[in-house]
Structure 1
C-alpha cells in the first residue's frame, strides 16, 4: 500500500530544480542571510505551510528552520523543507540524522524525511510516519536509516509536518556506511549507463504517419518477446554491459526496415553476435513442484538457427545479481532496478512508447507471480497493444494505452500512480465534494470529501445517483472499466466511484433517487485543491475504545504497536473484540497483536518467490506461523470486519488473525491484492507496480483476486446508509452478544 503522502511526493518528482553539490557542513542554517524565507539552497515542498528561518528558537548556532501549519487546514496536506544532493557514491547503508523540536502537532505527525531518487523515480523513502511523532517535545536528535540503493542519483533530505502545529529543525548530518557522505567512495558506473546515443530520441520511423500493417504488428511483437528474453537471460546484459533500452532501438531500425523474413533474421543474428558468446550450463533444474514454470515453447517455433542461439542463451551461466532485476531485501519481491523513467518525455516518441510496452510486458511475463490469473494469452495481449502504443497520437492516448494494458493484469496494486494532467483533461479535472460507494450495486452517496461544499450540493448519504449529464451509470461504467485496473469487480467499482462525478466543467447535471423519488440537481465541481478524494482515508477519531463496558473496538488504521501494552489489560477483560479492518493498518500488527490470540504458533500463510537466475520460475517457500507459546491467550470472541477497503496488508493481517479459533471474519469481498508491491517505471515518467510475491493459505488456496472470504457475509444497504447505520458493526456486536 502506498501512503497518500508518498503519492504527493511522487507527484513532485521531476519538478524540483537541482541544488548545488553539498558538503557535509552545508546542512545547517548559519551561512544564509536571515532575511530570507528559507536558507538557500533549501526548498519548500507542499503548499500552504509557513517555512521560515528562526533565529530565536534553535538547537545550536544562529538559526533553525521553522515549519508552521496554516490557520485553515482545508485540503492542505503537508509542509516540508527539503534539500537535494546529487550523488554518485557507493555504499550499503544511508543514514540521516537531525534535531527536531515540535509543538502542538495534531491530526498528523512530524518527521525527518530521507528520499533517494534514480532514473526510475523514487528508489527508497522514509518520512517517519510510522513513528507517529505528535504533541509537544523538546529538541532531540532523530534518525532515519535504510539500505542505500546502488543506482542513487539524487538524495533529498529534510523534515516535514503533516497536520497542525509547529516544527523546528536543525543540525542535519548525512552518512553513508557510518561516515559523512562526501567521504564515501565513488560508485563504479556500469557500461550500460555510459550509453547516451538515444538520449534525444529513438530515431525510429514509427507512429502516426507510418501505417502499421498486421504483418508489421506481428513482427514487432516477436521482436519485443526476443528483446525481453535477452534482457533477462543474456549474461552480458545481466552484468550491466548493455543498455537494453538503446539496444532495442539499434536492432529495431534494421529489423523494421527489412523487407523479408531472411533480412529480419539477419538483423537479429548480427545483434546476438554483438552481445557476445555465452557459456552453457550442463543442466538446468526446474523443480517438479514449482508454483510457476517458464514456458519457452515459442523458442522451438522460431527460425531453426535463431532457435538454437536462443536456447543456448536460455541455458547460459548467469552469475551474481542481474542488472535489471533483483530480489528486494526482506520479502524478495522483484526490484526492477536500473530502469529509466525518462521523466522529461511527457509524450515519448514511438520508439520509446514501444519500449514502454515491451518493458512492462516482459516484467509480467517473467516476474508476476499471478500471471496465470490473467486468464488470457499474454502474447496475444502483446500483439493487441503494439499498434495502440505505436500509433498513440498524443500524451493522453499514450497514457490511456498504458492504463488499458495495466488493467489487463487484473491486480489491484497496479495503476498509474500520481496525478496526470493529460488524464485529468480526459476524465475531468474537477470533482464533486461527495464520496460515492457502490451499495447494492448502485453508486450511493456515503460521505462528503468536504463537509461544507458537500452539503451545498443538496445530496445526502443514501442518495442513489441515477444519471450524469443525461447518461446512465451503466454506460459510464462500461466506458471507464477498460482503464480501471483491479483484481475483482468489487474493487474495480470502488476505484471507479470517485471518477463518476468528475468533469472539466464546473457543474454536472444529475438525477438521483431519495426515498424512492427521482430528483434533479446541478451540482458544483471543484479542482483537487478544494476537493481531496483521499480525505476520508483511514478516517477515525480513535484506534481503541470500549463499546459499552465489555466490547473492545480496534481500528488498525490508527493503531500503533506501541499502544498495545496500555490497552491490553482492558482488552483482556472484555468478552469480545471487534477489529475493524475496513482500512489500511498504520502499523504492522500481525505478530504483535496476533500473539495475543493464539496459545501456540500456527501456520497462516505461504509464499511463492521468483528465482531470478531462472526468469519465469516461482517456487514455494515454507509456510509462516503467527503466535508463540502463550498460556493465557485472549478467550473472548474476535470479530474482524472487512470490505473492499481491506487491501494488501489489511488482507494479510486478517489471514494471520484468522488462524485463531475464536476469530470470525465478517463483511464483504476484499480487494484481492496481497503481497509486497514491486514498483515499475515506464518511459514518460509513468509509475505503476504489481503484487510481487504470491500469497496463499497454508493449504494452497489463492487470495489474489478472491481476497479474504468472510465467514459471515454482511453488506451495507442503501436504507442503512441513509439512516447513518453501520450494519457490519451492528452484526459484529450481535455475534459477540450471542444474537
Structure 2
C-alpha cells in the first residue's frame, strides 16, 4: 500500500508542475465557480496546515503554497477536475488524505501493517503559535517532534549605531536600508529601528516596525521616518532579526528633510558594511545570534551584513489531550466534495509514514518558486485570495470568542473571498481584510500594510461628546478645545465615523474611541486636510497638516500631583514605576488618591500590590488547548494570572480610578484587579472590553494582522470580552465643560477621593 501511495504522489507532482511549462491557458470559468473552487481549497488548506501532522506539511512554505494553490484551482471547470487538482496539490504533503464526492463512503484510513517501534505524531496547539520571532505565551507543537526556537537570550539579534542629535533637533529624519530574509527560517522577521534619546534619560520618537515586520525573501528598501525631539541628545538606530532564521542587510542611509522638502544625507559609519574590518562603526552583541559580513548575494557593493540565529529545540507534550492513533476527521469542502484528514500519523526513524517519494518535495518546492515574486504582490488576484483565506482559517480554528461573538463565520469566507477577488489593488484589499477582522469584534484586531496603511494623523484629539466630534486637545493653533468638527475635506464626520466603524473590530465603545481619535481624518503624513468647524455658533474652515500622531495626556495635571490637601493624583498612562516608587510613602499617607487610567499604563501595574490586602489567586487569562479543527471538542484551557502579592507600604486611603473606552488590553488587566478585588471606585465609562496577549501573523501581500489569541474573563469568571470594566460612577464629559477647560471625569474622581457627594 505504501509503495502505491509513493508512486501516485510522484505522478501527482509531475502533473502539478506541467502547467508551468508552457501549457495553453484554459478557458475562464464563471466567477461563482472560481470562488467556489477557491473556497474548497481554502477549507482543505486550513485542515492540512494546522491539523495534519506530516513532516512535509510542517516544513512547507504555506504562503507560497496558498498563492500557488489558488492559481491551480480557481479555473477548474468541474467537480472532477477540482478534485484532481486538490489531490495534485495536497497529496505530496498529505499522502493519506482522501478527497471524495458527497454521498460516497471513503476507504478505511491507511495505517502501517505493524506499528511496533513506531511513534504517533499529532498536533497540539496552546492557542496557536504563528510567529516564533517574539516572546509569546502561545505554542504549537507536534507530539514526538521538536521545533527550532531562538536560543536562550533576549529573543532578537540587533546591531546598533548612534550619532549626536544636535544638528537634527526638530527635523524629520529617515532611516532606510536594503533588507531581506534568507529562505528556510521559522517565524523569522526583520526590523529596522530608530530611537531618539532625550534629556534626563527620557525616550523620544521610537519605531521598530513591530506592526510591519520584514518577511520578504527579496531585497527591498524599507524605511522609518520620524521627527527628532527638540531636547534630543542622540539618535540611535539599527536593525534586528527576531525569530529563527537569517537576515541580510545592506546599504543603510540616514537623511534629514530640508525646508523645501528635499533630503540631505547624514553621515553614518560603514553604512554598506564595506569596511575591511568586520562591522566597523556598529555595535553587535546579542546572545543567541551571530553577526558577520558576507560577500554572497549582496544588494549593493561587495559586502552585506548577515545576522543568523543560534537555535534550541522545543519538544514534548503541551498538555495531556491528543488525538487517538489513527484518528481522522471528515469535513465538507464545498463543490460537492468532502475530505478525510488524518490527525495522527505514525513515524519511524526516517519520518512520518508513508514516506514521500524521492525528490517529491523538491519538485513541489520548485513549483512554489514560480510564485516567489507574486507572494508579495497584492496587485495579483492570487495573492489577494491567498491572504484572505489564510486570515479566515486562523480565526476559524483558533479565535477564542466565537461563543460570545455571534457571527456566521462560514459566510464570512464567501464574502471575504468575493471582496478580495473584486479588490482593485492592495489598498482595497486592506479594507477587505479590515472588514473581515472587524466581524470578530476583537479590539486588538487590525490589519497593517507599510504602503497602504495611513501614516499621517490629525494634530488634534476628538472625542464623541453629546453626539458630536468635539476637540478635547489640539496641537494646532487654528483648532481650539471645544470646537465641533462637522466635516473633513467636505465629508460629514458622521459619515466618516460610520464608515470607519465598519472596519474597526471591537466593542461599540472601543469602535467609537478608535474611529474618532485615530481613524477619521488619517491619511498620508505631511498632506493637508480641511476641517469644517463649529465654534460657539460660528462656522469656519481651517487647513491643518497630517503628522506622525500625538498622544495627548488625558488630563492637564502633571503625571503625579496634589489635587487638594491630602489628595494625590497619579496618571498611570504617564507616570512610570521609577517615578511612582519614590512617592509610595506619600501615597500611602494620603487620605485619597485619584488614579487616572484613561489610556495605556506606563509599565506600572506593580502599584496594585500596594492596594491589595491579600494574595491574588485569580486565573483570568485562559489559553485554549486545541487538537481538533473548527472549535470541535474543546479540551480546556491553560489558566494563568499575575499571582500578585501584597506589598508595603499599603495604600489605605479612599481611591478612585478613572477609565473609559480607550482603556484596552494591559489597561484592562489593571482595571480588572480594581473591579475584581474592589480596590477603588471606578469613575467614568466602560473600558474597551478587549484583553489578552495579541497574536500577530503575516499573510501574502505584506499585510500584518493582529488579534487576540486567548480568552480573558473577569476575576469572578464572568464575561469580560465586549463588556469591559464598567464604571461604578458613570460620568460623561460635556461640550460646555470642554470649552470651559474642565475635566468632569477628574472632578468626579476628586469628589470620590474626598468622600464628597454631588455625583
Gaps of 5+ in 2: 1-15, 113-118, 142-185, 190-213, 221-375
* Alignment pair present for 1:379 and 2:410: yes
Q: Distance in 1 between matches of 2:121 and 2:89?
A: 20
1:331 aligns with 2:348: no
Deviations 1:656-693 (A, max 9, x none): 23344441111112222211111121222211211121
Q: 1:413 aligned to 2:405? A: no
Q: Distance in 2 between matches of 1:202 and 1:377?
A: 41
**Contact kept in structure 1, 2:696 and 2:706, CA below 8 Å:** yes
Residue pair 1:551, 1:575 contacting (<8 A) in 2 also: yes
The 3 A distance-change label for structure 1 pair 540 and 557 is farther
Report the TM-score when normalising by structure 1. 0.60
Distance 2:24 2:422 in 1: 12
Deviation at 1:430, TM superposition (A): 6.6
Q: Distance in 1 between matches of 2:486 and 2:23?
A: 48
1:222-275 Cα offsets, whole Å, 9 max, x none, are 210111111001112586332233334554455334322122223333444322
Q: Is the 8 A contact 1:350 1:390 kept in 2?
A: yes
Separation in 2 of the partners of 1:381 and 1:203? 36
* Residues in 2 aligned to 1:401 and 1:694: alpha-carbon distance in whole angstroms: 26
The question of whether the paired residues in 1 share the 8 Å contact of 2:614 and 2:646 is answered with yes
Deviations, residues 303-361 of structure 1 (Å, cap 9, x unaligned): 6457976999xx98316889974787563378993699548635342222111111111
Matches within 5 A, 1:609-620: 609-614=623-628, 616=631, 617=634, 619-620=636-637
Which of the residues 62, 70, 91 maps onto 1:244? 62
Q: For the structure 1 residues 334 and 657, does the alpha-carbon distance in structure 2 shift closer, same or farther, using more than 3 Å as the test?
A: farther
> Is residue 705 from structure 1 mapped to residue 722 from structure 2 by the alignment?
yes
**Contact residue 35 and residue 74 of structure 2 kept, 8 A:** no
Find 1:460's aligned residue among 456, 467, 480. Answer: 480
Partner residue in 2 for 1:599: 613
In structure 2, the CA distance between the partners of 1:310 and 1:241, relative to structure 1 (3 Å rule), is farther
The correspondence for 1:478, drawn from 480, 495, 498, is 498
Matched residue, 1:443: 469
Aligned mates of 1:203, 1:256 — CA distance in 2: 18
| Root-mean-square deviation (Å) | 4.1
Distance in 1 (CA, whole Å) between partners of 2:623 and 2:689 is 18
Q: 2:492 aligned with 1:487, yes or no?
A: no
- Displacement of 1:715 in angstroms is 1.4
Report if aligned partners of 2:131, 2:696 keep a CA contact under 8 Å in 1.
no
Say which of 689, 698, 717 aligns to 2:706.
Answer: 689
C-alpha distance 432-254 of structure 1, shift in aligned 2 (>3 A): closer
* Structure 1: runs of 5 or more not aligned: 1-196, 281-298
**What is aligned with 1:366?**
397
Matched ranges for 1:326-725 at <5 A: 331-332=137-138, 337=187, 341-342=215-216, 345-417=376-448, 420=451, 422-424=452-454, 432-448=458-474, 450=475, 454-455=476-477, 457=478, 459-501=479-521, 511-515=532-536, 517=537, 519-527=538-546, 531-536=547-552, 542-589=558-605, 592-614=606-628, 616=631, 617=634, 619-622=636-639, 624=641, 626-628=643-645, 633-725=650-742
Task: Show the counterpart of 2:92.
Answer: 274
Q: What secondary structure does 1:317 align onto?
A: strand
**TM-score, normalised relative to structure 2:** 0.59
CA distance in 1, matches of 2:532, 2:571: 36
Contact 1:234 1:316 in 2 (8 A): no
Q: Matched residues in 1 for 2:22 and 2:216: separation?
A: 16
Indicate whether 1:214 and 2:32 are aligned: yes
- Whole-Å separation in 1 of the counterparts to 2:686 and 2:664: 10
CA distance in 1, matches of 2:561, 2:54: 59
CA contact (8 A) 1:439 1:716 kept: yes
Q: CA deviation at 1:378?
A: 0.8
Partners of 1:623 and 1:698 within 8 A in 2: no
Provide the residue aligned with 1:57 in structure 2.
none
Aligned residue in 2 for 1:318: 122
Matches of 1:492 and 1:463, distance apart in 2: 18
Q: Output the CA distance in 2 between the equivalents of 1:304 and 1:482.
A: 42
Q: For the Cα contact (< 8 Å) 1:490–1:669, is it kept in 2?
A: no
Equivalent residue for 2:153?
Answer: none
CA gap 1:670/1:211 in 2 versus in 1, 3 angstroms: farther
Q: How far apart, in 2, do the equivalents of 1:738 and 1:320 lie?
A: 53
Distance (whole Å) between structure 1 residues aligned to residue 489 and residue 668 of structure 2: 37
How much does 1:423 deviate?
4.9
Inter-partner Cα distance in structure 1 for 2:661 and 2:456:
25
Q: Counterparts of 1:395 and 1:216 in 2: how far apart (Å)?
A: 20
Q: Aligned with 1:641: secondary structure?
A: strand
Using the alignment, how far apart are the partners of 1:204 and 1:582 within structure 2?
62
Report the counterpart of residue 228 of structure 1 in structure 2: 46
> Is the Cα–Cα contact under 8 Å of residues 278 and 317 in structure 1 kept in the other structure?
no
The CA distance in 2 between the partners of 1:606 and 1:383, in whole Å, is 35
Question: How many residues of Structure 1 are paired with residues of Structure 2 in the alignment?
Answer: 502
CA 1:350/1:467 → structure 2, altered by over 3 Å: closer, same or farther? closer
Question: 2 CA distance for matches of 1:700 and 1:658?
Answer: 12
Q: Cα–Cα, structure 1 residues 511 and 398, in superposed 2: closer, same or farther, change >3 Å?
A: closer
Structure 2 counterpart of 1:129: none
